[in-house]
A and B are shown apart, each in its own frame.
Chain A
Amino acid sequence: MLSDIDRRRLLKRTAAGASALLLGGCDRLSNTAWFTRLIGRAQSLDAAVQPALTGGYAMAPEFSEADLSTPFKSNGTSNPDNADYQALAQKAFADWRLEVTGLVDRPASLSLAELRALPARTQITRHDCVEGWSCIGKWTGARLGALLDQVGPKSAARYVVFFCADTMERTLDAGEVKYYESIDLAGAYHPQTILAYDMNDAPLAIPYGAPLRLRDERQLGYKMAKYIMRIELVDSFAGIAGGRGGFWEDRGYEWYAGI
């Protein structure tokens, strides 16, 4: 017969064992390719269901000046630590140019002044980080759709890829790994999708992506590339870095960030 103490100890050990097994099992499954692919499918389902439910033109909620976050949290890179970028920053980005390449009829190279001459939009929107927090900022920028009309996407083009100045990792084999992101063409033509050069009525500051960042208000913050240097239109992500369409996507985050 078990004494009460023995029984209690046995129960406790059984519970601890069961939970360790469950947790250990979950951790092992998290490192199992077929399983993570399977549970990742749910977000592919979201990527199909959410746009179908909301339509292509639904606008993200906009706010008033009274709602602005002061300060607005700067996340990810707050000051790219490479010489090329610092040289551009020193001259207030006077020498900076945005290259537009890839599957377009008229590749272009634009100065900040030329970008400011494009049809623009100002919007006060909520920035939702994948970590869970939100900040509200006022953004002014060139409509990406207007820029695309100017360069003329070829019919094969499906995605717009943003290549950035900020170095995320330095590795021996891959060298400098820089931030990049991508959105699809439908998202690029959404009226609120802008290449922002102003924030809260002042030129974009370095912690927020100077001189140019993406605003894609219906997705999470990691989609909104900062420090944009080059835009390329492509038909697939194969051959670009990890091949999943973005720096964080290459590290397990979903390409569709509407959720």
Chain B
Amino acid sequence: MASPSEREKTVSRERIYRHRVPVRLGHWINVFCMAILLMSGLQIFNAHPALYWGSRSRFDDPVLQLAANRDAAGQPHGITTVFGYSVDTTGVLGLSADGSGAATARGFPSWATIPGPQWLAMGRRWHFFFAWLFVVNGALYLLWSMLSGHLHRDLLPSRREAGHIGRSLWDHLRFRFPRGEAAKRYNVLQKLAYLIVVFGVVPVLILAGLAMSPRLDAGYPFLPALFGGRQSARTIHFVCAFALVLFTLIHVAMVLVSGVWNNLRSMVTGRYVIIEEKGRVE
């Protein structure tokens, strides 16, 4: 038997304007740039698929290496080595099929790189062009965020929210997302994730990228020094790129489980629907 309170439950749909134009435009330019930067970056990485620590490359002591080796029977394998520990990654890392299906020694597979075939000069063209677009887009977003109050109002957590981080984390782990009034704002975990990306991962990634330029290293020797040398900077650039991949995976997962169409529409048209169930006892 239904209780009276449940029978009287009413569902209200409220449409709110959630994302303003600069956020939406900046978001999709970012999606585009980050995809191309990641894939052209992997193309560049493939020219020497190993990472090191320090100023110079200690070829016998890489932090990470994607190599193709032959086993005792002469069979080639893709071997990934991280801090001296090796895993067979044939088919994906170290050794994978090229466009024609032939097994080829290459760091990341051709489906993950721009362009697909090994072509360093072209990968650099893509990377350095979209790096400018990414940086200009990011700088405009930051400037707008500060001037419009978006940063202060929407991104910085209040003291009260800061006290709820543990609770919010627990809710997220159970796939319980803010509803009603609370869904109109970014929640505290979302705010922290965005702040870490905007003020942490991306600036470090950009600085590490600049530190790889020999000309900039001459003008600003603190750049490579900041990271412990040019090869460390290259390693950190790579790690930051994959931190962004991880962020994107979690971001997309959250979008999927918290209402994919509502979320997508709000990032395209700005409109977001809040469903509030009144009379329900939780």
Which among B86-94, B214-222, B255-263 touches the partner chain?
B214-222
Stretch at the interface among B125-133, B162-170, B171-179: B125-133
The answer for the CA separation of A80 and B214 in the assembled complex, in Å, is: 28
Q: Is the CB of A59 within 8 A of B47?
A: no
Whether A151 is near chain B, meaning CB under 8 Å from some CB there, is no
Among the listed stretches A23-31, A87-95, A102-110, A195-203, which one makes contact with chain B, having 4 or more residues with CB under 8 Å of it? A23-31
Q: A50-B216, A218-B214 are in contact. Are A45 and B122 (CB under 8 A)?
A: no
B residues less than 8 Å from A252 (CB atoms): 121-122, 125
> Which has the most chain A C-beta neighbours within 10 Å: B39, B50, B115?
B115
Q: Answer yes or no: A43 CB below 8 A from chain B CBs.
A: yes
Q: A54-B219, A135-B56, A220-B214 are in contact. Are A126 and B230 (CB under 8 A)?
A: yes
A8 within 8 A of B: no
- Bound Cα distance from A27 to B124, whole angstroms: 14
Q: Which of B39, B56, B120, B213 contacts A259 (CB 8 A)?
A: B213
A132 to B127, CA, bound (A): 14
How many B residues touch the partner, as a band?
35 or more
Select one of A41, A53, A67, A126 contacting B129, CB under 8 A. A41
CB distance from B106 to the nearest CB of A (A): 13
Q: How large is the interface on A (under 10, 10 to 19, 20 to 34, 35 or more residues)?
A: 35 or more
- The answer to whether B215 and A51 touch across the interface, beta carbons within 8 angstroms, is yes
Considering the chains assembled together, what is the distance between the CA atoms of A53 and B219 in angstroms?
7
* B contact residues vs A (CB 8 Å cutoff): 36, 39, 44-45, 47-48, 50, 52, 55-57, 59, 111, 114-117, 119-122, 124-126, 128-132, 212-221, 224, 230-231, 234
Measured between beta carbons, the chain B residues less than 8 angstroms from A136 are 55-56
Question: For residue B132, which residue of chain A has the nearest CB?
Answer: A42
Encode A10-40 as 1/0 by CB contact (under 8 A) with B.
Answer: 0000000001000100110010000010111
Please state if A60 and B218 are interface contacts (CB–CB under 8 Å): yes
B129 shortest CB reach to chain A, Å: 4
**Chain A residues whose C-beta falls within 8 Å of the C-beta of B59 in the assembled complex:** 73, 133
User: In the docked arrangement, what's the CA distance between A223 and B216, Å?
Assistant: 16
Q: Are B216 and A53 in contact (CB under 8 A)?
A: yes
**Shortest beta-carbon distance from A3 to chain B in Å:** 21
Within 8 A of B (CB), among A203-259: 217-220, 248, 251-254, 257-259
Residue of B52, B215, B220, B234 with most partner-chain A CB within 10 A? B215
Residues of A near any B CB (own CB < 8 A):
19, 23, 26-27, 30, 36, 38-43, 45-46, 50-51, 53-55, 58-61, 63, 67, 69, 73, 126, 128-136, 217-220, 248, 251-254, 257-259
Closest 6 CB pairs of A and B: A54-B219, A258-B215, A252-B121, A39-B129, A42-B129, A131-B48
- Do residues A42 and B215 form an inter-chain contact, with CB atoms below 8 A? no
**Are the CB atoms of B231 and A134 closer together than 8 Å?**
yes
Residues on B with C-beta less than 8 A from A60 are 214, 217-218
In the bound complex, what is the Cα–Cα distance between A53 and B119 (angstroms)? 30
Contacting residues, chain A, for B122 (C-beta < 8 A): 30, 36, 252
Does B215 contact A54, Cβ atoms closer than 8 Å? yes
Flag if B214 contacts A128 (CB, 8 Å). Answer: yes
List residues of chain A with CB within 8 A of the CB of B234: 132
- Which residue of A23, A38, A61, A254 contacts B218 across the interface (Cβ within 8 Å)? A61
> Which chain A positions have C-beta within 8 A of B117?
27
The distance in angstroms between the C-alpha atoms of A23 and B175, with both chains bound, is 34
Knowing A58-B218, A126-B56, A134-B56 touch, does A50 contact B213 (C-beta < 8 A)?
A: yes
A residues in contact with B219, CB < 8 Å: 50, 53-55, 58
Assembly CA distance A47 to B57 (angstroms): 26
- In the bound complex, residues from chain B placing their C-beta under 8 Å from that of A248 are 121
Contact A67 B56 (CB under 8 A): yes
CB neighbours of A67 from chain B (8 A): 55-56
Distance from A18 Cβ to chain B, minimum over Cβ atoms (Å)? 12
Query: In the bound complex, what is the Cα–Cα distance between A254 and B44 (angstroms)?
Result: 14
- Find out whether the CB atom of B55 lies under 8 angstroms from the CB atom of A126: yes
A257 to B36 CA separation, bound complex (whole angstroms)? 22
Partner of A54, one of B45, B56, B131, B216: B216
Report the bound CA distance from A128 to B52 in whole Å: 13
Residue of B at shortest CB range from A136? B56
Residues of A within 8 A of B213 (CB): 50, 258-259
Interchain residue pairs with CB less than 8 A apart (23): A26-B115, A27-B115, A30-B115, A36-B122, A36-B125, A39-B129, A42-B125, A42-B129, A50-B213, A53-B219, A55-B219, A60-B214, A60-B217, A63-B55, A69-B56, A126-B214, A129-B48, A133-B48, A134-B230, A248-B121, A258-B215, A259-B212, A259-B214
Measured between beta carbons, the chain B residues less than 8 angstroms from A19 are 111
Of A38, A42, A55, A58, the contact of B131 (CB 8 Å cutoff): A42
